[in-house]
């Protein structure tokens, strides 16, 4: 089981967030919660120390009435659960974010870590391929936004180059440069071609389209999220017989 993310201690109301499997609706509810005094109070001094770490609506204004930390922490929590549940689709396992309860990790650009499930060769048209071994490190960055049509760009204020600088230099320092992977999980559309070229195609992107494909109308995953925070599961109604059979049983003929 993954480590407990600090958002579980700060969330104002999980019940209202996790009443739907629709991630876009979840984000709208979290954004509304981030406006409340209670959300800001629960962030405390952390809100002022790390204000620029998170992005609610690509504004990053110091006088923004919302709590961007609260919003960003939710997306990190969601990303951790998503990647641990659907990780086989991306050859990722054992995902833990740095903002775990009791963690002493500093944030220099990387939000979390995972491991590759199996060996895989990733071809790269801009250079040598990277061979991922079973257990190779996966460096993770999470970006949350309600602007789902956005494509992240090099100088858009989201500080994504910080992620690759920290992740790739860490991989080199640990002598794992030719097996490490770099993954961006974002509720935006993805990245533009300028950022893709800057990264030489070395960062894998899981955007809102991928997230929606796996989670919308997926009550099984929704109940996993609810169970994680101690909520009762939502009933999944299974029809007893086909509608056509029911009509046939009630027919006078």
What's the pLDDT at 102?
A: 72
User: 55 is written with which tokens?
Assistant: 């992005």
What's the pLDDT at 132?
A: 83
Query: Between 228 and 127, where is the model more confident?
Result: 228
**Residue 157 pLDDT > 70:** yes
Q: In three state form, how does the secondary structure of 40-104 look? A: HHHHCHHHHHCHHHCCCCCCCCCCCCCCHHHHHHHHHHHHHHHHHHHHHHHCEEEEEECCECCCC
- Phi, psi (degrees; rounded to nearest 5) at 59: -105, -50
Tell me the pLDDT tens digit for each residue of 176-226: 998 999 999 999 999 999 999 999 999 999 999 999 999 999 999 999 999
What residue segments make up the domains of the chain, in order of their start?
Answer: 7-249
Query: What predicted TM-score, i.e. pTM, was given to this entire model?
Result: 0.86
The arithmetic mean of pLDDT across residues 128-133, rounded, is: 72
Are 75 and 44 within 8 A, CB to CB? no
Are 107 and 50 within 8 A, CB to CB? yes
């Amino acid at each position: 089981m993954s480590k407990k993310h600090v958002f579980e201690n700060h969330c104002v109301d999980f019940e209202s967030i996790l009443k739907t499997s629709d991630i876009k609706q979840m984000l709208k509810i979290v954004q509304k919660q981030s406006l409340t005094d209670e959300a800001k109070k629960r962030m405390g001094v952390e809100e002022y120390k790390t204000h620029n770490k998170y992005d609610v609506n690509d504004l990053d204004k110091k006088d923004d009435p919302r709590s961007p930390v609260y919003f960003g922490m939710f997306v990190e929590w969601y990303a951790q659960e998503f990647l641990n549940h659907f990780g086989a689709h991306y050859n990722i396992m054992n995902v833990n974010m740095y903002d775990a309860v009791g963690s002493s990790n500093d944030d220099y650009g990387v939000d979390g870590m995972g491991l590759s499930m199996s060996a895989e060769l990733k071809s790269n048209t801009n250079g040598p391929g990277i061979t991922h071994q079973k257990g190779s490190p996966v460096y993770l960055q999470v970006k949350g936004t309600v602007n789902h049509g956005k494509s992240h760009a090099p100088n858009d204020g989201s500080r994504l180059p910080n992620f690759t600088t920290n992740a790739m230099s860490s991989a080199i320092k640990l002598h794992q440069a030719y097996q490490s992977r770099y993954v961006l999980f974002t509720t935006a559309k993805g990245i533009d071609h300028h950022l893709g070229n800057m990264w030489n195609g070395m960062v894998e992107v899981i955007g809102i389209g991928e997230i929606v494909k796996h989670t919308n109308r997926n009550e099984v995953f929704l109940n996993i999220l609810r169970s994680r925070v101690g909520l009762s599961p939502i009933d999944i109604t299974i029809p007893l017989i086909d509608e056509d059979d029911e009509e046939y049983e009630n027919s006078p003929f």
